[in-house]
Amino acid sequence: MTELGRLEDLPLDYREALTRQNLVPLWPSLRGVMPAHKPRPNTRATMWAYQALRPLLLQAGELTPIEKAERRVLVLANPGHGLEKMQASAAIYLGMQLLLPGEWAPSHRHTPNAVRMIVEGEGAYTTVDGVRCPMARGDLILTPTGLWHEHGHDGSAPVVWLDVLDLPLVHYLEASYHVDGERQAVQAGGEPAVLTHGLRPAPLFERERSASPMLRYPWVDARAALLALAAQRPALEAVQLAYVNPETGADAENILGFYALMLRPRQQLRLPARSPASVFHVIEGGVEVSVEAQRFSLAEADTCCAPGYTAATLRNQDGSAPAFVFVADETPLHRKLGIFEDRG
């Protein structure tokens, strides 16, 4: 590969003349923005242990009242991007949110898409576009772009959940903003439950809402489906389900992809080197994750991220029980942009 000219090779007065005209020579920076064969991601394989962050999150509950935080969140920031960027990867934001009994995080809506993976506690709920979604451990609740959402908590112990947003991307696109709203009127009946059974309302009963038809994916259903799939397909290597829009089969959200993965007892699963970055969050069990030179031992509620273009190996350390992992990645985005790659 040819060595390209450097900025210092150019006369100072020429460089200054360029700067005055808001012009920049490409060749000194060309290899930086387009490295050979493979990108050089800032995203670093990073782990966040729940045991370490939980006391700090509870302390935030004492230090900052909900009125002063609106969303009481500690962001899981990737040091490779710089902590202040609040990014887990190029497109993924992760935050652990705490809501204490009786607290209320007021209604708003925003352009970034969000999901919540419930980590701990009972009695909280998120109201999304008038649909009250109870929060239980392992449930996935969607807040697609533009939908009103607020969080409340009628229980007696702290509730914690993992927020996954495409905020870094939407912010980069200069398209990120929010609007504050009034407390939502809760619509009777909640979600149309039939959708989870492969049935949908026939045209006579068509719903008027245009947004995602399914907002809450209960963990009891996802877990049972994974166990059934594993039992039916003993030779299946990746016992993985994608969270999808049940009316269309498309990804549940537009930008990030969400999956539930089961590892059989002692199973080791190699995930191929694909272009999107990924996040792994353990719902149940203990999982060892190897990415690049890193090896993370994840216990329940621990989270890690892996850069794109890198293979990862997940191993269930238990010999008798399955492990369950919530996975978030940038696949829908990469596919839509036409830059998705699987390098095996």
Q: Please report, as ranges, the residues that interact with ligand GTQ according to CB under 6 A.
A: 71, 73, 95, 97, 110, 114, 149, 163, 165
- Shortest separation between residue 58's beta carbon and ligand GTQ, angstroms: 17
- Shortest separation between residue 151's beta carbon and ligand GTQ, angstroms: 6
- Partner residues linked to 75 by β-bridges: 95
56 CB-near residues (< 8 Å, 6+ apart): 74
Q: What is the dihedral of CA 64, 68, 74, 77, to 10 degrees?
A: -130
Return the number of the residue (46 or 316) whose C-beta is nearest ligand GTQ. Answer: 46
| Residue 225 CB-half CA count within 13 A | 15
Return the number of the residue (101 or 106) whose C-beta is nearest ligand GTQ. Answer: 106
**230 touches 322 (CB < 8 A):** yes
**168 touches 93 (CB < 8 A):** yes
- Shortest separation between residue 268's beta carbon and ligand GTQ, angstroms: 33
Both tokens of 67, joined, read: 């009125």
Return the number of the residue (95 or 152) whose C-beta is nearest ligand GTQ. Answer: 95
**80 touches 43 (CB < 8 A):** yes
Return the number of the residue (160 or 241) whose C-beta is nearest ligand GTQ. Answer: 160
- Shortest separation between residue 73's beta carbon and ligand GTQ, angstroms: 4
Question: How far is it, in rounded angstroms, from Cα 289 to Cα 62?
Answer: 34
DSSP-assigned letter for residue 160: E
List, in sequence order, the alpha helices (H) in 21-92: 30-33, 50-63, 66-69
- Shortest separation between residue 77's beta carbon and ligand GTQ, angstroms: 12
**295 touches 259 (CB < 8 A):** no
Return the number of the residue (97 or 127) whose C-beta is nearest ligand GTQ. Answer: 97
- Shortest separation between residue 74's beta carbon and ligand GTQ, angstroms: 9
The rounded radius of gyration (Å) of the Cα atoms in the chain is 22
Return the number of the residue (145 or 267) whose C-beta is nearest ligand GTQ. Answer: 145
Return the number of the residue (253 or 284) whose C-beta is nearest ligand GTQ. Answer: 253
Return the number of the residue (151 or 334) whose C-beta is nearest ligand GTQ. Answer: 151
- Shortest separation between residue 124's beta carbon and ligand GTQ, angstroms: 11
- Shortest separation between residue 92's beta carbon and ligand GTQ, angstroms: 12
**206 touches 188 (CB < 8 A):** no
Both tokens of 234, joined, read: 């003993």
**240 touches 266 (CB < 8 A):** no
